[in-house]
Chains A and B, each alone.
Chain A
Amino acid sequence: MKPAPFVYHAPRDLDEAMAVLAEAGAHGKVLAGGQSLIPLLNMRLAAPEQLVDINRVAALEPFGIEGAGVRVGALARHSQVERSAEVARAQPLLRQALKLVAHPVIRNRGTVVGSLVHADPAAELPAVLALLEGTVRLARVDVERDVPASEFFTGPLESALEAGELAVSAYFPALPERAGTAFVEVARRHGDYALAGVAALVRLDDDLRVATAKVACVGVGPVPMVADVSEECERRPASTVDWAGVARAVQDGTEPEADIHATAEYRRHLVGVLAVRALTEAARNAA
């Protein structure tokens, strides 16, 4: 199908974008990469009255190292961030996750910030932001606010972004010393949305025992489900941790639902298996 008609705005800079969004209010929708929005428009699951195309706002393109982390502008495409060596050095979880986002061709257009704002509970990047305790910068005319991941994702496909606001960038804290990350998932076909997935971060102490172990799970709750399982790891080396116990603790923190792709019980099973895989891989990467 084809999108319903809409009024099209193509602001040239940030000020103009903010002004247009302020005027459009609840009738306005931002178009960045369009790889989630345009399918919704084509299927007429969404029909915004006004579309604000930010693709000409050059100020939103840059991404890179800022302080102790990575800042990604609203127009940085998945593929650009995925290819960046400096981003991978600072925070390897971004590249690990981006390789799992849809297909390479989709990643040429889709944006990192767009994925966050779309807030699909089965998507990878919201889990990355949640696990790393990153922030999303939301702006309206003359006002900016940084919203932490824990407050940004409010439900399936729902975020803290308000009418008239533009998500201008996201911030992903860098990897701490002696820490490692991993992202694993199970999908029916490569590139499909995952039935379940787990992002993990493990930090070791000086004796290579697990000091911190955290996961963020996708596809098993309304938002990315973050669980700190450091205590369950009992400050042991990864090789002697009771991983079955850790998996149970992760499973207990999820609220999987059944749909045509998988039962709730199967998703619960998957998230336990994937949590152990992700955590042991993250521990290996940390050593």
Chain B
Amino acid sequence: MRHDITLVVNGVTRRVSVPARRLLSDCLRHDLGLTGTHVGCEHGVCGCCTVLLDGEPVRSCLTFAVTVDGRRITTVEGLAGPDGLSPVQRAFAECHGLQCGFCTPGFLCTVTALLEENPSPTDEEIVDGISGNLCRCTGYQNIVKSVHRAAELIEEEESR
């Protein structure tokens, strides 16, 4: 049996018909064609599939699409604004906060929400905040730097 649901993805209302067992990650990728959300472990360990659900980061592989019928979802495709990459995305590019890029969509979503809640986090708060995202390339040091840089960029943007 299929269920007709409505998701507001990156500001666009999308109607889609899914079986109940469709994970939100698969719904985004397969039904809506938004392949920016990556799927790594499918049991909540790696963090690659992290998206924002009404602004809060959640694992899309541990959420059924039917459960979030009617909710607002932001994926990595929705982070950039009309003027280009978001401050968090620019900071990751600037500080070499990625190498292969597989984990990056999850990090970007997690960090976007982290900085909204805590605009100037300490090293410790950053490490705690990104502890649920795995990266096998960078060794995390440049990701921590990227988060600090993103905080600066956001502050600069807001004071302008």
Chain A residues proximal to chain B, CB less than 8 Å? 1-8, 10, 31, 34-35, 38-39, 41-43, 51, 53, 55, 79, 102-106, 108-109, 190-191
Neighbouring A residues of B1 by C-beta, 8 Å: 7-8
Residue B132 interfacial (CB < 8 Å):
yes
Residue B159 interfacial (CB < 8 Å):
no
B62→A35 contact, CB < 8 A: yes
Residue B59 interfacial (CB < 8 Å):
yes
B132→A191 contact, CB < 8 A: yes
A105→B57 contact, CB < 8 A: yes
Contacts A105-B47, A106-B132: A5 and B21 contacting too (C-beta < 8 A)? yes
With the chains together, A270 CA to B61 CA distance in Å?
34
Chain B residues proximal to chain A, CB less than 8 Å? 1, 3, 19-21, 23, 26, 42-44, 47, 50, 53, 56-59, 61-64, 66-67, 110, 127-129, 131-133
B59→A109 contact, CB < 8 A: yes
Q: What's the nearest-Cβ distance from chain B to residue A58, in Å?
A: 14
A2→B58 contact, CB < 8 A: no
A-B contact pairs, 30 of them (CB 8 A): A2-B42, A5-B19, A7-B1, A7-B20, A8-B1, A8-B20, A34-B67, A35-B44, A35-B59, A38-B23, A38-B44, A39-B42, A39-B43, A39-B62, A43-B43, A79-B56, A102-B44, A103-B47, A103-B132, A104-B128, A104-B129, A105-B47, A105-B57, A105-B110, A105-B132, A106-B44, A109-B62, A109-B63, A190-B128, A191-B132
Interchain CB contact (< 8 A) of A53 among B19, B61, B67, B127: B67
B61→A42 contact, CB < 8 A: yes
* Residue from A1, A4, A7, A10 whose CB has the most chain B CB atoms within 10 Å: A10
Neighbouring B residues of A108 by C-beta, 8 Å: 53, 56-58
With the chains together, A39 CA to B129 CA distance in Å?
22
With the chains together, A104 CA to B42 CA distance in Å?
17
Nearest-CB residue, chain B, relative to A43 = B43
Interchain CB contact (< 8 A) of B66 among A8, A43, A190: A8
Q: What's the nearest-Cβ distance from chain A to residue B153, in Å?
A: 22
Neighbouring B residues of A39 by C-beta, 8 Å: 42-44, 62
Contacts A8-B3, A53-B67: A191 and B21 contacting too (C-beta < 8 A)? no
With the chains together, A258 CA to B50 CA distance in Å?
33
Q: What's the nearest-Cβ distance from chain B to residue A240, in Å?
A: 34
What's the dominant secondary structure at chain A's contact region? loop
Nearest-CB residue, chain A, relative to B42 = A42
Nearest-CB residue, chain A, relative to B43 = A39
Neighbouring B residues of A43 by C-beta, 8 Å: 43
Interchain CB contact (< 8 A) of A3 among B21, B53, B133: B21
With the chains together, A1 CA to B26 CA distance in Å?
11
Interchain CB contact (< 8 A) of A102 among B19, B58, B67, B132: B132
Nearest-CB residue, chain A, relative to B62 = A38
Q: What's the nearest-Cβ distance from chain B to residue A208, in Å?
A: 32
Q: What's the nearest-Cβ distance from chain B to residue A111, in Å?
A: 13
Q: What's the nearest-Cβ distance from chain B to residue A12, in Å?
A: 12
Neighbouring B residues of A53 by C-beta, 8 Å: 64, 66-67
Q: What's the nearest-Cβ distance from chain A to residue B10, in Å?
A: 19
Neighbouring B residues of A38 by C-beta, 8 Å: 23, 44, 61-64
With the chains together, A258 CA to B90 CA distance in Å?
47
Nearest-CB residue, chain B, relative to A10 = B66
Neighbouring B residues of A191 by C-beta, 8 Å: 131-132
A6→B43 contact, CB < 8 A: no
Neighbouring B residues of A79 by C-beta, 8 Å: 56
Interchain CB contact (< 8 A) of A103 among B19, B61, B131: B131
Neighbouring B residues of A34 by C-beta, 8 Å: 62-64, 67
Nearest-CB residue, chain B, relative to A37 = B62
B21→A2 contact, CB < 8 A: yes
Neighbouring B residues of A106 by C-beta, 8 Å: 44, 59, 62, 132
Neighbouring A residues of B129 by C-beta, 8 Å: 104
Q: What's the nearest-Cβ distance from chain A to residue B75, in Å?
A: 15
With the chains together, A8 CA to B20 CA distance in Å?
6
Contacts A51-B20, A105-B50: A31 and B67 contacting too (C-beta < 8 A)? yes
Neighbouring A residues of B50 by C-beta, 8 Å: 105
Q: What's the nearest-Cβ distance from chain B to residue A61, in Å?
A: 14
